[in-house]
Structure 1
Amino acid sequence: MVTQSTADQATAVSDVRGADHLLLQASRHGRVWTLLLAVTAVLGTVAEIALPALLGRTVDSLVFAQSSLVWVIGCVAVVVLLVLCDTLGGLAAGRGSAAGTAWLRHTMIQHMLALGDRATQRFSRGDLVSRLVSSAAEAGNAAAVVVWATLSFVPSIGSLVALWLIYPWLAVAFVTGLPILVVLLRSFARDTTDLITRYQRSQGRIAAALMDALGGIRTIRAAATLDREQGRVLRELPALSELGHGTWRAQTRISAQGALIVPLLEVAVLSVAGFALSAGHISHGEMIAAWRYVALGTGFGMPAMLLARLARARGGGRRVHEVLTEPAMRYGTASLPAGPGELEFRNISLVVAQEQVFDGLNLVVPAGSSLAVVGRSGTGKSLLAAIAGRLLDPDVGDVVLDGVPLSTLNRKEIRDAIGYAFERPALVGETLADVIGLGLHQPSADLIEQAARAAQADAFIERLPQGYRTRLQKAPLSGGEAQRLGLARAFAHNGRVLILDDATSSLDTATELQISSILTGQLSDRTRIIVAHRASTAALANLVVWLDEGRIRAIGPHRDLWRNPAYRANFTPGVPPAGSASPVDRIAAEETS
């Protein structure tokens, strides 16, 4: 237990250091703006410390009837410098924070896309959006907050030095209260950091619940469970409110403590200054300067506010860092030789959610053949399809294409060689032509139309007012039409391997039959892996691999496997009652019985 606790603490410290390093990297992207902010902040702080001394000199020159014009001009110049530094500093802080935030978001998006499915295995979609939008913005402010927070303590040090130069006992009186202020600020920083970190995590959970609800809004409305979903989304709200109130209580507490201690410290210093003035040790102007330095040196609100902002920046940095440390898929530098598209699974093992899905799976898909993957729900059919095209890496083993392990290939080689169509395709692009041509370099109109015809999508596309130029947002699509666009995108991809992950499940029987004829006809030169839930689909494949509890139970033609009742049971949920089966299913049953 002690060892585990020590390991957890070491991991936490490493995460904090990594997050702080990330904030430093983001700060560097402010470049000249961060430098300008630092310069203006330093000049502003120096001017702020110099102003009380100039005011004191001005007062003394007036009291002793001396020429005060120089000191008045000096006061005006310092005030102008303060205004200029404040204005330029605000501009520099904004531009620098924007640059840091943009870099963090760009880095996050790039990494999340590289993670693929792994991104949503650890983080929900809503939480990722929260980290990308809110946490990255908080972390992007780090440079400005660090500069301001660091310099916020300089006025106290400068005031102490100035008081010593005016009269040493003033500095002694001032020093007596500083340790208390330091302890209070340190306690405030610790408490605020914990509260803000928990607050940001709570925000992420609310965002995740909201994204889930929006994704299933039609189901929620159909089930009339809006009130229940609203409660689920807002379940975290009381905890969020309590954490927010906790942050305000911490700020109120330190303000109250400061309101008690600071006046006492001011009274102590000014009392010493009064005695020094009466004894002739200091002048009237120095008395005023001492009063201003006490007020400047005990300015409690600004450091407290900046420490809270620094806590938010570091909390945001940790949330961004957690995403960036999730290991992304690595690619090699090898290229594919010319080949027919033979795909081999070698000793594949995979664990998902602490459950063994595959354990030493071996399989060879002959070049140019069609392989149907059959099995009950949850047996790993889609996972096998994902591993086949390296959308997912196994924990152990390799997938080899034409003698080259996929893990050694560069990203472009893999994506050029392997095309995908999914059950619920994500349609990406401005127009329907863009959707079909996704991933292709300047595809021709003929290629787009040919792929659409092969996928039986051309008919509904041409009925639209602008045809292939119709904007995706203005094209009402059914589930089957979306699948046909996904198939067209896969058919337009001229790779040597084509993987269909239940990509015809929403199609009617006639359309599926036409798609099957394309797969066995003009696309027969490609190696095809088809996740199948219908007997008709499996019947048209050269080979069927039957998965059962993550292992290969049998491999062979559909007609041979059909003799096994356990194999036929894989299709039972999808087979219509006797007398109403589709023509393709009836033919498959007759030929294999």
Structure 2
Amino acid sequence: MASAAHRPADSPPGPTAVSPPASPAVPPSTPSGVSPPASPAVPPSTPSGVSPSEPPADDLLLRATLRHSRGRSVLLLLCGAGAAAAAVALPAVLGRTLDLLLAGRAGGTQLLLCAALLVTETALDAAVALLGGLTGARSTAWLRGRATTALLAGEPRRAAAFPAGDLATRLTANAADAGTAPVTAATATAALLPPLGGLAGLLLLDAWTAAAFLAGLPLLVLLLRAFARASADGTLRYQQAQSRLAGRLTEVLSGARTVAAAGTGARERARVLAPLAEMSEQGHRVWRVHGRAAARAQILMPLLMVLVLAVGGIRLSAGELTVGELLAVSRYAALAAGIGALTGALGALIRARTAARRLTALTTLDALPHGSGELPAGGRGALELRGVTVVRDGTALLRDIDLALPGGTTTAVVGRSGAGKSLLAAVAGRLTDPDRGEVRLDGVPLTTLDRSALRREVGYAFERPVLFGDTIAQALAFGPYTPPAEQVRGAATAAGADSFVRLLPRGYETPLTEAPLSGGERQRLGLARAFAHAGRLLILDDATSSLDTVTERQVGRALATQVGEGARLVVAHRLSSAARADQVVWLDEGRVRAVGPHAVLWQQAAYRGVFGENGEGEGRTGLASGLGAGAEDDTRGGIGTEADTRPATATATATASGSDAAHHADPPPASAAEPHAVTTPEARR
């Protein structure tokens, strides 16, 4: 009986099994298919312009995987070694039994021993199969957990550099391949024992038959070496093409409506399936290498068997071997010839190694380091940016930003597209670290804060919120802690979401999958989630862009009066959002151009140009007719009046280095600036 310990590691499918990525049949380089993520957060383009490169050719992750499963791997190796020992002992016992039977002597004990060896080998083979499945599954889960943890622990832009489809491939197919490493290493090691035991048996029985077998070993070594080289390169190229295909598929699925509206379905189908040609080429290449190696082994091994049996027959005729010993020689030669079957295990190890290297690109992502500090009690979210500079691809996107934003106030950040508004918001809440400079919250550097303390006190609402959880209530409660239901519903009311949530069939307990949400409704739920967890600093990154004018005003008033006592930083693209803020930070090409109340900044044509307005008919207050027909006047506590009635301490200070004077071609008149302090680089100079 052939032992599982010395059989090939797998039986690969046929070379033509290449299909579209929904459920791809994979050549021996990739044993599992790729399913695109259900709702990809990142399209498969690289938004940051950074293309993730393959990691250095090291095996650190593979070694870590082996160490993680060393206990189960050792047990697996012991079971495999036991099965191999039974397989090696069986030929000698069979030969001895045959000689006893031919001599007419009782061989009952020997027959029982043969049966015991067969049962032992079968039982241990079953244990190897069971332990192998368990170990492989646990290793795969560990790899996926480690890669996912590294993704979430680092800066979001690092993960965004990987297309969603590529991430799905690495976390599914590549993790499954790499997870087989402990099992394959243990079974391959055990698979070496029968050939070595067979060779030792030949040497013990008859040196001439052993010499005949050893004559062919150099050819076998060369065969395995050539197979390993060619198979590794083809496996890597196949996995890369598979990632490109999965990425394109994810992109098309996420933009299905756009494709349908443009009528480009056929073109997109061709683009998605374009990598299939390379997948087919590399898959066939790996199979050709595998086939050639197997064919040569199938030719070499029988020739060695024939040679060994021929020498054994000669030795039998010369009286140097008995019939039972010749039977043992033939069985040992078969075991020794099993070394050719190691091509399967070698191929599995190559796949695991290649896949582990692709996973290394995720597990080696730099994590944001955190300290153990806490924020002082009673703080209201005073935010300071000191000399903050952020560089991407050699270009400074934020340059020498010095800001002091008082706690308990609302600050709007405005600027043209590409000015660095969202990047400033990311730095302020430590979604990314500056390359130079420091950010402080209530006097404490963000880098020294404990992770939980930071995320408990700094919240975000984004333009396109992703909702987590099974129900609306769970989606709103999702965060660093679970707020009480009353707080969640109050936040939903403040965000203008309570009214439509109550109209759903099951209200707040409506499953997300059964809640048809418009873009504005989804955005209101994202705001409600942020409001429910509002701490010292709440950052809104264009989080009201999909709201209608009336709802946006309601949310703005609630943000100022109902959402905690902390500071609020609002990335504003709407005129009304800037008008409601206590102060406005005006960014221009990564620098702070000016800081002050919206009504004062509005006197500058360049500032008005940020909003695409020419300022006609709006007066010096900036409370324009452009706010819409429903604009409220000062007597109703309307938009734009809060900045005028806040204490003088609400005014922020800003410092920007460089030649900012060239940008101030249209400064506000002195009469307009008197009631409010507007800080500009010129004023400080």
Q: TM-score range by the shorter chain?
A: over 0.9
2:374 is aligned to 335
Distance 1:440 1:276, change over 3 A: closer
Residues 574 and 222 of structure 1: CA distance in aligned 2, closer, same or farther (over 3 Å): farther
1:379 to partner: Cα distance: 1.4
Whole-Å separation in 2 of the counterparts to 1:286 and 1:243: 47
Matching of residue 170 in structure 1 with residue 209 in structure 2: yes
Look up the match of 1:5: none
How far 1:586 sits from its partner (Å)?
A: 9.3
Match of 2:628 among 576, 582, 593: 582
How far 1:71 sits from its partner (Å)? 2.1
Would you say 1:548 and 2:594 are equivalent positions? Answer: no
Deviation at 1:576, TM superposition (A): 12
Asked if 1:18 corresponds to 2:54, the answer is no
SS in 2 for 1:433: helix
Residue 312 (structure 2) pairs with residue 269 (structure 1): no
> Amino acid of the residue matched to residue 562 of structure 2?
Q
Q: Give the number of aligned pairs.
A: 580
More deviation in 323-332 or 551-560?
A: 551-560
**Counterpart code for 1:379:** A
Quote the residue 1:257 is aligned against.
296
Is 1:113 matched with 2:152? yes
Q: Which residue does 1:131 correspond to in 2?
A: 170
Which piece of structure 1 moves more, 460-469 or 261-270?
Answer: 261-270
| CA 100–232 in structure 1, closer or farther in 2 if over 3 Å, else same | same
Q: CA deviation at 1:97?
A: 1.2
Report the alpha carbon displacement of residue 524 of structure 1 after superposing the two structures with TM: 7.3
Distance 1:549 1:12, change over 3 A: closer
Shift of 1:558: 1.2
Q: Distance in 2 between matches of 1:574 and 1:92?
A: 73
Q: Residue 244 of structure 1 aligns with which residue?
A: 283
Aligned to 2:612, the other structure's residue is in SS state: helix
Structure-2-length-normalised TM-score: 0.81
Q: What is the rounded CA distance, in whole Å, between the counterparts of 1:259 and 1:131 in structure 2?
A: 35
- TM-score, normalised to structure 1, is 0.93
Secondary structure of 1:242 counterpart: helix
2:492 maps to 1:449 = no
Task: From the superposition, tell whether residues 574 and 47 of structure 1 become closer, same or farther in structure 2 (CA, over 3 Å).
Answer: farther
The answer to whether the 8 A contact 1:34-1:144 is kept is yes
Shift of 1:484: 0.9
- The structure 2 residue matched to 1:567, chosen from 596, 603, 607, is 607
Q: Which moved more, 1:90-99 or 1:65-74?
A: 65-74
- Greater fraction helix: 1
Q: Which residue of 2 aligns with 1:409?
A: 449
Whether contact under 8 Å (2:605, 2:614) holds in the other structure is no
Ranges in structure 2 where 5+ consecutive residues have no aligned partner: 1-52, 618-623, 634-638, 645-667, 673-685
Change beyond 3 A, Cα 1:202–1:287: same
> Any idea what SS the aligned residue of 2:440 has?
strand
Counterpart residue number, 1:196: 235
Matched, 1:218 2:260: no
Q: What are the superposed Cα offsets for residues 539-560 of structure 1, whole Å, 9 maximum, x if unpaired?
A: 1111111111111111111122
Counterpart code for 2:213: F
Which of 137, 141, 145 is 1:98 aligned to? 137
CA distance in 2, matches of 1:364, 1:550: 17
Change (3 A) 1:77 1:251: same
Alignment deviations for residues 296-322 of structure 1 (CA, whole Å, 9 cap, x no partner)? 211255201111111111122212222
Of 510, 535, 549, the match for 1:470: 510
Cα distance, 1:15 vs. partner? 4.2
Whether the 8 Å CA contact 1:487–1:503 is kept in 2: the answer is yes
Q: CA separation in 1, counterparts of 2:601 and 2:153?
A: 39
Change (3 A) 1:500 1:368: same
Equivalent residues in 2 for 1:180-579 (5 A)? Answer: 180-338=219-377, 339-439=379-479, 441-523=481-563, 525-572=565-612
For the structure 1 residues 322 and 581, does the alpha-carbon distance in structure 2 shift closer, same or farther, using more than 3 Å as the test?
closer
Cα distance between partner residues in 2 of 1:476 and 1:503 = 20
Q: Which moved more, 1:502-511 or 1:112-121?
A: 112-121
C-alpha contact 1:347 1:362 (8 A) present in aligned 2: yes
Quick one: distance in 1 between partners of 2:456 and 2:614? 34
For residues 340-381 of structure 1, what are the alpha-carbon distances to aligned partners after superposition, in whole Å with 9 as ceiling and x for unaligned? 211011111112244321122211111122111111111111
Secondary structure, counterpart of 2:611 in structure 1 = helix
Answer yes or no: is the 8 Å Cα contact 1:346–1:361 preserved in 2: yes
Question: Partners of 2:168 and 2:350 in 1: how far apart?
Answer: 21
Distance 1:524 1:277, change over 3 A: closer
Distance between the aligned counterparts of 1:56 and 1:144, measured in 2? Answer: 33
Pick closer, same or farther for the CA change 1:243–1:109 going to 2, 3 Å.
Answer: same
Contact 1:536/1:584, CA 8 A, preserved across alignment: no
CA contact (8 A) 1:26 1:140 kept: no
Assess, with a 3 A threshold, how the Cα gap between structure 1 residues 585 and 391 changes in structure 2: closer, same or farther: farther
Q: Deviations over 1:89-116 (max 9, x none)?
A: 1001111111111211222222222125
Stretches of structure 1 lacking an aligned partner (at least 5 in a row): 1-10
Distance 2:179 2:259 in 1: 37
